[in-house]
Amino acid sequence: MRRVVVTGIGLNSPLGNSYEELYESLKAEKSGVIHLAEFEEIDDLGTKIGGVVGDLDFKKLIPRKFRRSMGRVAQLSAISTANAIVDASLEQDMLSSKRCGIAYGSTMGADETLFQWVSEVSEQNSYRGQNSMAFLKLMSHTVAANIAQMFEIKGRNIPTCSACTSSAMAIGAGYESVKYGMSDIMICGGSEGQHHLAAGVFDIMGACTTSHNHEPEVASRPFDESRDGLVVSEGSGAIVLEELEHALARGVKIYGEVIGYATSCDGSHITTPSKDGMQQVMQTSLDDAGIEPSDIDYINAHATATQKGDIAESHATYNLFGAKTPISSTKGHMGHLLGGCGVVESVICLIALNKSFLPKTMNFKTLDKKCANINVLANNEIKDSKIVMNNNFAFGGINTSLIFKKYKG
């Protein structure tokens, strides 16, 4: 089995658009959740807040010949990917080699394009005169397809469109591709663009917070007894995975090593999370890494601040790790990035390893009595961590668990 390391990082999030910016924002306990004026225009939308990426000049950063087939979700991904490629010092001959591939996902394609296209076709009762690029923007694999074209990537292409596990599953697919010798380099990640469609879906299910529209920075409260739902946000990220000897031969920086991954299905309910499914995927990831629960120094939880989800996850985690392992959900800082959450939270795990820094769970004060007695961090901690875990769960009972290890050479 080949060892897999992280050699490049790029991201765009409500807390910053680089590894260092994200770290500084977490350390300063900043919130990336704001009031969204466009949500006020929809009268029956209960939630009026969300997290957004800071201003980006897409026209300047992405050539038109590529941008014309991209919606916001793909544009954010393209910028994150470009930054990760530069960070990893990847030359074009490496990118275009059959040994370099891509794994990338999102919950949906470009929501804004979907709304415009369907509305125009319905109003005109005709497809004539419609933008020929519309489908390329809204198709489910728009991110993976557009990134491959823009960066001339000709190896494996694995679209991982699985809602909130999209980017974590992409990292897992890339890890397995390199580990089992199918690629030497995999560019992996995911993305989501802010739009009221996603907020509306969660809103009508009663899963969005609506009681803190006037104070958005305290709205997302994972594991807390006062939580009343999630905050829908946007963001993107890309990490470069590379076979260890290949990376060493190039002399590039190594952020950490991926040593474990698992994915599973609950096979029970389409929306209600299963603690058994969550526990199973974490155990299988530990088995893949060949380690015990006691070896994990920190867990970045999926915990979105919904009632059922946080409770189920707490019990699944407690059953394996008990009450000592430090746990936090950084969705308290920036909301739920949906298809982008897995990769950004994986970057946070790498920050934990390299900066000896464990981020708090923002707005957490009192653990819900229905939750298991897990060690939720209410304050930032300085801790030298060697192995950390990132967990993500999605509609359809899809579960992922990733394990990262500090690289010491």
- Please write the tens of the pLDDT for every residue from 234-286: 999 999 999 999 999 999 999 999 999 999 999 999 989 999 999 999 999 99
Measured torsion, CA atoms of residues 172, 91, 155, 109, in degrees rounded to the nearest 10: 60
Task: Let me know: does 387 contact 296? Beta carbons within 8 Å.
Answer: yes
Residue 94 banded pLDDT, cuts 50, 70, 90: very high
Number of Cβ within a 10 Å radius of residue 97: 16
Residue among 100, 164, 188, 371 flagged as catalytic: 164
The question of whether 336 is a catalytic residue gets the answer yes
Check residue 119 and give its pLDDT.
85
For the chain, the domains span 4-405
Angle subtended at Cα 232 by Cα 228 and Cα 234, rounded to the nearest 5 degrees: 155
Check residue 135 and give its pLDDT.
92
| Strand 381-382, strand 357-358: pairing | antiparallel
What span, in angstroms and rounded, lies between the C-alpha atoms of 359 and 294? 20
The question of whether 246 is a catalytic residue gets the answer no
SS (H, E, C) 202-218: HHHCCCECCCCCCCHHH
Residue among 195, 196, 246, 302 flagged as catalytic: 302
Check residue 127 and give its pLDDT.
80
The question of whether 164 is a catalytic residue gets the answer yes
Nearest to 392 by CA among 316, 295, 291: 316
Task: Let me know: does 103 contact 170? Beta carbons within 8 Å.
Answer: yes
Nearest to 36 by CA among 58, 65, 14: 14
| 175-209 confidence digits (pLDDT tens) | 999 999 999 999 999 999 999 999 999 999 999 99
Q: What DSSP character marks residue 62?
A: S
Residue among 246, 315, 333, 336 flagged as catalytic: 336
Nearest to 107 by CA among 141, 150, 68: 141
For the whole model, what pTM was predicted? Answer: 0.97
| 361-393 confidence digits (pLDDT tens) | 999 999 999 999 999 999 999 999 999 999 999
CA torsion sign, 43 to 48 to 50 to 56?
positive
Checking if the pLDDT of 359 tops 80, the result is: yes
Superfamily of domain 4-405: Thiolase/Chalcone synthase (3.40.47.10)
